[in-house]
Amino acid sequence: MKIVLMEPLGISQETLSALSEKLTAEGHTFTAYDTVTTDTQELIERAGDAEVLIIANHPLPGDVIRADENLKMISVAFVGIDHVDVEACKEKGVLISNTGGYCNDAVAELAVGLTLDCLRNITAGDASVQAGGGKAGLQGHELAGKTVGIVGTGAIGCRTAEIFKVFGCKLIGYSRSEKPQAKEMGIEYMSLKDVMAKADIVSVHTPLTPETRGLIGAEEIGAMKQGGILINTSRGPVVDTDALAAALKEGRIKAGTDVFEKDPPLPEDHPLLGVPNLVCTPHVGFDTRESIDRRAEMVFENITEWMNGTPVRKML
């Protein structure tokens, strides 16, 4: 079979060679492109007549999928597949597998890290020392004993809850469907309104769908405790940016976010630039050396298992 990697996976050439050699040793051909393009015609040329395409998180338009007459399978190095034209895949009977689970630990650890920064003023403390100052005004709070609200109790939400539990936190949660795993670890399910009102820390872990866009709006943020902390490592549009900025400026809450409507660099007039009580990271939650290597291994495993007739992580 002809297999084409349409864009870089962020791994070393040595790792890529080791993974691809398992396929070429069985007589398959493998072509890898080390640059990103969003030009449809160039993508069509890259795909050619491949049976299998590998992509990361850049769009794969329907025109590309339809132009490849031999295409049978797409292995996506990403959790979501909303950047793939699913309708085109359905038309052609193309199977899609993702790499769900590759960054559970990475994202969960960042969510807890952002929380600790908000509680212990780590970034503010660094800025004070670097400016020649001291600890005045930087007294923090302990994480132990706090009530943490998990919004979205999927794999990442549950992993985040596990880590918070180790710190001695009480767990409450909201999700459209209640998971037995979440209940077993001690998450008490309740309405979103109650989670927002009762939690000292709210950590958001929902996917972005039409139903979750703006899920955390002015009303939900307004229900939070004075001094509460809102952490978002899911998707930017799940939280209303203007409502969050207003609450931060008022000093009602603190927040840590890794996600925005579009990845940084942000435009100069973005509502969250320059606001107080906020710790930001530039969408790095998923991005650790371990998670990216794990993602690549899963991408190639998807292909091998599909060839063996036992597809894994099948999304379509």
pLDDT of residue 39: 97
Please report, rounded to a whole number, the percentage of residues in the chain having pLDDT higher than 70.
100
What pLDDT shows up at residue 316? Answer: 83
What whole-number distance in Å separates Cα of residue 237 and Cα of residue 215?
Answer: 8
Is the overall model pTM greater than 0.85, yes or no?
Answer: yes
What is the predicted pLDDT for the residue at 173?
98
Q: Rounded mean pLDDT of 144-172?
A: 98
Helices and strands (H, E) in the chain, number of each type: 12, 12
Contacts (Cβ under 8 Å, ≥6 apart) of 25: none
- 8 contacts 33 by C-beta, under 8 angstroms: yes
Half-sphere exposure of 141 (CA within 13 A, CB side): 14
- Alpha carbons 206 and 129: distance in angstroms, whole number: 37
pLDDT digits (tens, 9 = 90+) for 229-251: 999 999 999 999 999 999 999 99
Among 24, 75, 65, 70, which Cα is nearest to 299's?
75
Distances 242 to 261, 263, 269, 273 between C-alpha atoms, Å = 12, 17, 12, 11
For the domain made up of 104-280, give the CATH fold. Answer: Rossmann fold (3.40.50)
Provide mean pLDDT across the span 260-282.
Answer: 97
pLDDT at 234: 96
Q: How far apart are CA 81 and CA 61, in angstroms?
A: 12
2-102+289-307 and 104-280 share one fold: yes
Mean pLDDT of 143-153: 98
Q: Please report, for residues 14, 175, 179, 206, the alpha-carbon distance to residue 172 in angstroms, rounded to integers and kept in the order given.
A: 44, 10, 13, 15
Q: Give CATH for domain 2-102+289-307.
A: 3.40.50.720
For residue 183, pLDDT over 90 is answered with yes
Q: Is the dihedral of CA 122, 150, 205, 231 positive or negative?
A: negative
Q: Look at residue 166 in the predicted model and tell me its pLDDT.
A: 98
Mean pLDDT of 274-296: 97
Report pLDDT digits (tens) over 113-131: 999 999 999 999 999 999 9
Domain locations along the chain: 2-102+289-307, 104-280
What average pLDDT does the structure give for the chain? 97
> Which pLDDT score, from 0 to 100, does residue 82 have?
85
